[in-house]
Amino acid sequence: MADKYLKVGTTGNLEEVEAIVTSLGEGSAGEIPALDATGKLDDSVMPAGIGAEVVVLPASEALAENDVVNIWDDTGTTKVQKAKASDATKPGHGYVKAAVESAANATVYTDGYLPGTSLTIGSKYFLSAATGGLVTTTPPAATGNIAQVIGVAVSATEIKFEPLTPILRA
């Protein structure tokens, strides 16, 4: 629940109003914003060009929360799937913060901080070859795999997402 404030209503009486956490666009004009559960302003209240860089794409498979994803062309339709280092055609391009069912639209973050757990601060994290969508501190070494740094852990719960060009293992 967001903090509340008093404002003069249309009848001239004081009304108690809750600050908004997310914007509904023009309908929220003039409202006072509140911080979300993470202590930050929601991207929806930020002006155009400020906030997370995202693209919304249909998922070609089910995606789990915090999966690293690959953006690909499915015969003229741009889609998203789990990135996987064992497949040279599936490098990591972004990540999702919420689970998405196959064929549903996924909000793909192409910058920012990839959430994680029990991360080693300062360690490089690579795209995993063992499980699609995941990261590891050990670069894949098998022939035909790609070694792709996804980012560096800046805390025990966040990786600064900065994917590098993958290197094909020969």
Query: How many other C-beta atoms lie within 10 A of the C-beta of residue 119?
Result: 20
CB 25 within 8 A of CB 45: no
Distances (CA, A) of 108 to 20, 59, 111, 119, 131: 24, 10, 9, 22, 19
Is there a contact between 67 and 81 (Cβ–Cβ < 8 Å)? Answer: no
- Give pLDDT, residue 38: 84
- Predicted TM-score of the model (pTM): 0.78
User: CA nearest 109: which of 48, 72, 68?
Assistant: 68
Residue 79, strand partner residues: 72
**pLDDT single digits (tens) 119-157:** 999 999 999 999 999 999 999 999 999 999 999 999 999
Instruction: Give me the domains of the chain, ranges plus CATH numbers.
Output: 4-45 (no CATH), 54-112 (2.40.340), 114-168 (no CATH)
